Amino acid sequence: MRKWRCVICDFEYDEALGMPDEGIAPGTRWEDVPETWSCPDCGAPKAEFQMVEVAPAA
């Protein structure tokens, strides 16, 4: 499982945790997060802004 960091505000998306509040189940891979999803903290869109990979697959 990997983590992805928003380049604007440093929010981290953790694939292991997902975003259950937003209907993204724990374990959802980054590739499977909808393209319309945006950073929940600052609103940076997934499609337009690459998240930085912080931890490679273990």
Partner 1 sequence: MSKLLPGAWRDGKRYLWLLGIAAMALPMIGGVLAERTGLSLFWWFTPLFIYLGVPLLDALVGEDRNNPPDAVVPALEKDRYYRWAVYAAVPFEYASLIWGAWTAATQSLAWWEYLGLAISVGMATGIAIAIAHELGHKTDPFEQWLAKIALAPTGYGHFYSEHNRGHHVRVATPEDPASSRYGESFYAFLPRTIAGGIRSAIAIEKGRMARRGLSFWSWRNDVLNAWAMTPVLFTALVLAFGWKALPFLLIQAVYGFSLLEVVNYLEHYGLCRQKLPGGRYERCQPTHSWNSNHVFSNVFLYGLERHSDHHANPLRGYEALRHFDGSPQLPNGYAGMILLAYCPPLWFAVMNPKVRAHYDGNLSLANVKPSLRARLPLQGAV
List of residues contacting partner 1 (CB under 8 A)? 7-11, 20-21, 40-45, 48-49
Task: Kindly state the smallest distance separating residue 31's Cβ from partner 1, in Å.
Answer: 22
Task: Kindly state the smallest distance separating residue 17's Cβ from partner 1, in Å.
Answer: 10
Task: Kindly state the smallest distance separating residue 43's Cβ from partner 1, in Å.
Answer: 5
Give the list of residues 6+ apart from residue 26 with CB closer than 8 angstroms, or none.
Answer: 16, 17, 18, 20
Buried/exposed code over 34-55 (b: 16+ C-beta within 10 A; e: otherwise): eeeebbeeeebebeeeebeeee
> Judged by CB, which is closer to partner 1: 30, or 37?
37
